Amino acid sequence: MREDKEQPGKALSPDAMKSLAGGVDKPPDVSRRPEDYVSSRHSRLIDEISRPLDIDDPRKAVAVCAEVTRQVLLDFAPALTLLPVSERRRAQTLATYAFTLFDFARQSGLEGERLAQINRWEFSLEAALTGDPPAQPVFVQIAQLEKQTPWSRDGFDRLMSAARRRATVRRPATVEAAERDSIELGGALAELLVGESPSAALEAMAAALARVLSLRMLGEDLRRHQARLPVAELPESWEATTGADIEALAKAVHSECTRIRPLLLRSARAIPDLPPDYRRCGKYLLLAGDRLLNLLQETGAGLRQESPHLGAASRLSLLMRARWLALNRL
């Protein structure tokens, strides 16, 4: 496990934490359809990630990765404010890299095209890890952080394997297959963050959080005909055309929430497996995950059209609670 010599900074003031928690929520633009918003958001993010950058200015790379992470993780993003600066940047860089990788895997079109994009992304990663990064923000950051503490090559291998499986198997056939996929992804992300093979409890925690994020993206995945709900529960032929279709979707969402909830509850035992600097972050993620899961279950079939989120006050409250719990129970 890595030993980070950087000490956490001073405690943030409530005003500063509120700012980092997301500030004032903006009302949605009701003139736009959900599919318009999702498409344009992803286009902007991919443009930011792939835009050429002056290789001598890593500060721009830091800013791009931070903004992409905020938009991708949404209500989970405030957890990163509880990390030391060096670990926060590592987490933001990983989130940016993984988001883009899986966006390639989730694209429509031919399987060979998706795999070719993934291969190109992996080649750029290898160049960054050897100190010759492409002039793009995420790879500039990967190279900079590699100089401080080497990334886990096994972790990246696991992440690439998970992405290739996503690109070739569009939907899990069974509940068991979906759970295996989430463990593979969660384990890869956990290993890249902690720097070594994670415990089973930590893998399960990361997998549960990934499944919460996946449910938040359900509307977009339904439009792409690749929802991460098992085919055994929501058939490939599903279309939102009848009341029976909507009822089937609501039942599948409920079943997935019912499976995730005990995983989140048990994940508290994984907090001690995290490096000390990550424990407050882990607490926030579990608290936010539990609250989001309640909203997702309440929304049910409505997830095909909307993605619920926590308000700024709720995020701030969870940040304060995570700091207190970590200080008093660990």
| Secondary structure element (H or E) that encloses residue 55, with its range | none
119's tokens: 């291969």
Tens of pLDDT, residue by residue over 179-215, are: 999 999 999 999 999 999 999 999 999 999 999 999 9
- Which residue, chain included where needed, has tokens 């619920």? 308
Q: CB-based burial of residue 176 (10 Å sphere; 0-12 exposed, 13-18 middle, 19+ buried)?
A: exposed
Residues 104 and 117: beta-carbon distance below 8 Å: yes
Tens of pLDDT, residue by residue over 44-86, are: 566 666 666 665 678 889 999 999 999 999 999 999 999 999 9
pLDDT (tens digit, 0 to 9) for every residue of the chain, 330 residues total?
Answer: 443 333 333 333 333 333 333 332 333 333 333 233 233 345 456 666 666 666 567 888 999 999 999 999 999 999 999 999 999 999 999 999 999 999 999 888 899 999 999 999 999 999 999 999 998 899 999 999 999 999 999 999 999 999 999 999 999 999 999 999 999 999 999 999 999 999 999 999 999 999 999 999 899 889 888 899 999 999 988 888 888 999 999 999 999 999 999 999 999 999 999 999 999 999 999 999 999 999 999 999 999 998 899 999 999 999 999 987 655 554
Residues 88 and 63: beta-carbon distance below 8 Å: no
Neighbours of 197 (CB within 10 A): 14
What is the pLDDT at residue 36?
Answer: 33
The CATH architecture annotation of domain 35-226+242-329 reads Orthogonal Bundle (1.10)
What is the domain partition of the chain in residue ranges? 35-226+242-329
Q: Distance between CA atoms of 212 and 289, rounded to whole angstroms? A: 7
What is the pLDDT at residue 141?
Answer: 95
pTM of the full structure: 0.83
- Rounded (to 5) percent helix, strand, coil in the chain: 70, 0, 30
